[in-house]
Structure 1
Amino acid sequence: MISSEHILSQIEKQIHKAKMETNEQVTREAFAAIRALCDVVLDSTISVSPIQSAPVISGQPIALKEEDANGESLFDF
């Protein structure tokens, strides 16, 4: 595993490169490299990501209210 100090030193190099560069494309590449280095650190320290549970739906039917309906049944006309 790469040490976080080594990654931080690489991030600092990319920050220096972004500050000194006048070419927008090279600056954007430095920012992309910084993002990638941060992702490496974050992905290696997080071993389990939380799983979102599906929303619970109650078993009771929802009555729809139509303007021209005669009752709650589907067959009421």
Structure 2
Amino acid sequence: MIPVERILEEMERHLRAARSTGDPAAQRESLAAIRALSDAALGSRTQSRMPEVKPVPLAAPAETPGIPPAPPKREEDGANGDSIFDF
């Protein structure tokens, strides 16, 4: 694990670079580096404290009120299911 003091030194270096340059692209690059360093410093601490999250199974959908259930299929010899062409 990287010591927090070392991360803070790097953040200060990038902050000085962002302030000293007039180039917006260079400033954004320095700020992105500071964000990454912050995430690295905070991530190592928060990961050990965060509980493991387990997925919760979803319940089966309930029948929709107002819509009657489908009638049972008529099964006859030679019929092919719910086709309108069943004779």
Question: What TM-score does the superposition give when structure 1 sets the normalisation length?
Answer: 0.67
2:44 aligned with 1:51: no
Give the equivalent residue in structure 2 for 1:69: none
Unaligned runs of 5+ in 1: 67-71
Q: Secondary structure at the match of 1:2?
A: coil
Cα distance in 2 for partners of 1:55, 1:18 equals 48
Matched AA of 1:54: V
Structure 1 runs, 4 residues or longer, greater than 6 Å off:
none
Q: What number of residue pairs does the alignment pair up?
A: 70
> 1:75, 1:21 → 2: CA distance?
75
Partner SS for 2:22: coil
Identity between Structure 1 and Structure 2 (%) = 29
Structure 2 stretches lacking a partner, 5+ long: 73-87
RMSD in angstroms over aligned alpha carbons?
2.6
Equivalent position SS for 1:39: helix
Which deviations, in whole Å up to 9, do the C-alpha atoms of 1:27-47 show, x marking residues without a partner?
Answer: 111011111111211222223
Q: Within the alignment, does 1:73 sit opposite 2:75 as a pair? A: no
TM-score by length of 2: 0.61
**Aligned positions of 1:1-40 closer than 5 A:** 1-40=1-40
C-alpha distance in 1 between matches for 2:61 and 2:26: 59
Greater radius of gyration (CA): 2
Change (3 A) 1:55 1:5: same
Moved more, 18-27 or 45-54: 45-54
User: Judging changes above 3 Å, is the alpha-carbon distance between structure 1 residues 55 and 20 closer, same or farther for their aligned structure 2 residues?
Assistant: farther
